[in-house]
Amino acid sequence: MSCNWGTELWDQFDNLEKHTSWGIDFLERYTKFVKERADIELSYAKQIRSLSKKYHPKRSREDESRYTWCLSFAATLQQLNELAVQREELAENLNSQIACELTRYTQELKTERKTHFQDGRRAQQHIESSWKQLESSKRRFERDCKEAERAQHVSDRIDLDSKTDGEKARQTAQQKQQAAEESRKDYVTSLNQFNQDQHQHYHTLVPVIYQRIQDMEERRIERIGEAMRSSAEAERKVLPVVRRCLDAMMDAAESIQPRKVTFLWASVLSVLVEVW
Amino acid sequence: MSCNWGTELWDQFDNLEKHTSWGIDFLERYTKFVKERADIELSYAKQIRSLSKKYHPKRSREDESRYTWCLSFAATLQQLNELAVQREELAENLNSQIACELTRYTQELKTERKTHFQDGRRAQQHIESSWKQLESSKRRFERDCKEAERAQHVSDRIDLDSKTDGEKARQTAQQKQQAAEESRKDYVTSLNQFNQDQHQHYHTLVPVIYQRIQDMEERRIERIGEAMRSSAEAERKVLPVVRRCLDAMMDAAESIQPRKVTFLWASVLSVLVEVW
């Protein structure tokens, strides 16, 4: 087992954090794009509407309602106003049904993402502290072994010279031996605990968190696809109405009758001619 | 024959001038409308194009080209740019093929209209001077008749008193009689001339001018109808291309594959997992 495994895992979590953060950035960028698109549509609609209003006859003059070309222009302006209404509806759809929903969803996603990385960090901290516990038990056991060995050595040498000192050294060696035994047991416990923690970390905790992050990513991407489809669909829905408006403009243009108009005007003249 | 016939005819020409001037105003108003419409389309296209540019990835990063959602967004932006191109072409058509042509035509029409009313005014002046000539001949004839009558009366009275004075008075009366006869002939000539002028004025000159103005009006109205049709047609021509762009956006949105993306991402993870 490499000593830098913790760093590698940590790097991996960092990569995941970067990747998911980039995903959220993209979501926010796309939302901003949809909003700006809606603003453009709204400003276009506003211009079209005020153009229609500007050229619409102030009041229905008898003069104007008598001529087919005046009536046709008025009909064209009315259809233009209808086009503005359509663009306004598109802007409204893009804003409320797409951008607002995406903003709300992004907030949810940020919260969910935070939870997953908090869980990840908690798991990471737990395995790290388990590793530290194991390292410290190991060091204590190694130290206690050395001390017990040294005490045994001292006891073995003193035993040959003096009985009283020998008894004391034997007791010390025995105590050190016991302490080493305790440290060994402790080390074994820590090792078992760590092995268990490590197994759980790699086979349960981390895979579950990864799976959740992966699910979250899939949902995010599905959601982006859905938003893109809805945007295109919102705009496609406008087309048949635009088509109808343009057909109505064409009908209005075709209903202009130059001869009918001048006949009317000529009849006015003939009345005046009779006066002479 | 009423004495104010000249005024009535003049009023009638005034009405025609007002009517045709109103027609030209309408033509100019419609041209201005088409230009403003083109400006709106151009500004809309510009905004759409800069939105597409703003969100287009600065450079093709390996990261971005690996993910279907990034590719789809790039495709959407490309289609958006195509929509801008379509709107620019519409603006160009409205400006060059409709507004510019109408401006040129309006200039021609103004020149033509000016000619017709100049002809009208010339005819009017001619018949007025013919009338004045008739009036003056009539007044001279009446005056000469009265003078001849008075001279005859003087001659008749003097003839009874003195032979010498009588001869002189008879000569004067004879001269006055001759002058009255001359004035009568002159008056008859003026009357014949005026009758001829009047006939030509009412049966040829004025009807021809009226017919020309009427033809001019018919052409103007036909031209307006044509411009309205062309405008609607220019906009209708854009629709199938817009439809194709939106279909391509829909296809791009539908090509997003959440599982393919995360599989790729998960495989990167598995490599890293093996390191541990």
Boundaries of every domain in chain A: 8-275
Q: Do B249 and A231 touch (CB under 8 A)?
A: yes
The distance from CA A213 to its chain's CA centroid, rounded to whole angstroms, is: 12
A202 → chain B, closest CA residue: B273
pLDDT by residue (tens digit) across B95-104?
999 999 999 9
Tell me the pLDDT band of A1, cut-offs 50, 70 and 90. Answer: very low
Q: Do B229 and A236 touch (CB under 8 A)?
A: no
Residue type, A218: E
Angle between helices A68-92 and B206-254 (to 10 degrees): 20
Most confident among A145-149, A169-173, B54-58, B151-155 (mean pLDDT): A145-149
pLDDT at B58: 72
A255 → chain B, closest CA residue: B225
Q: Is the pLDDT of residue A154 over 90?
A: no
User: Which residue blocks in chain B are alpha helix, DSSP H?
Assistant: 5-55, 62-66, 68-92, 101-161, 163-200, 206-254, 258-275
Spatial separation of the C-alpha atoms in residues A49 and B40, rounded to whole Å: 11
Q: Is the pLDDT of residue B82 over 80?
A: yes
pLDDT at B146: 94
A255 phi, psi to nearest 5 deg: -85, 0
Spatial separation of the C-alpha atoms in residues A184 and A176, rounded to whole Å: 12
Q: Do A217 and B26 touch (CB under 8 A)?
A: no
Which positions in chain A touch B247 (Cβ < 8 Å)?
A: 236
Spatial separation of the C-alpha atoms in residues B243 and B181, rounded to whole Å: 91
Largest Cα span, chain B: 165
Tell me the pLDDT band of B273, cut-offs 50, 70 and 90. Answer: low
pLDDT by residue (tens digit) across A26-82?
999 999 999 999 999 999 999 999 999 999 877 655 566 678 888 999 999 999 999
Q: Which architecture, in CATH terms, is A8-275?
A: Up-down Bundle (1.20)
Spatial separation of the C-alpha atoms in residues B223 and B171, rounded to whole Å: 74
Q: Which two tokens stand for residue A149?
A: 């060995």
Cβ pairs A/B, distance under 8 A: 178
pLDDT by residue (tens digit) across A221-253?
999 999 999 999 999 999 999 999 999 999 999
Least trusted range by pLDDT, from A258-272, B15-29, B154-168, B176-190 = A258-272
Spatial separation of the C-alpha atoms in residues B19 and A264, rounded to whole Å: 13
DSSP letter string, B160-192: HH-HHHHHHHHHHHHHHHHHHHHHHHHHHHHHH
Q: Do B229 and A8 touch (CB under 8 A)?
A: no
Q: Do B262 and A70 touch (CB under 8 A)?
A: no
Q: Is the pLDDT of residue A132 over 80?
A: yes
Q: What is the pTM of this model?
A: 0.83
Spatial separation of the C-alpha atoms in residues B72 and B77, rounded to whole Å: 9
Tell me the pLDDT band of A155, cut-offs 50, 70 and 90. Answer: confident
pLDDT at A4: 42
pLDDT by residue (tens digit) across B194-212?
999 999 988 888 889 888 9
Task: For residue A252, give the nearest of B51, B228, B243 by CB distance.
Answer: B228
Looking at the complex, report in whole angstroms how far the Cα of residue B214 sits from the nearest Cα belonging to chain A: 7
Q: Is the pLDDT of residue B10 over 90?
A: no
Q: Do A37 and B51 touch (CB under 8 A)?
A: yes
pLDDT by residue (tens digit) across B179-196?
999 999 999 999 999 999
Task: For residue B51, give the nearest of A40, A233, A269 by CB distance.
Answer: A40
pLDDT at A68: 86
Sign of the alpha-carbon torsion through B104, B106, B107, B112 = positive
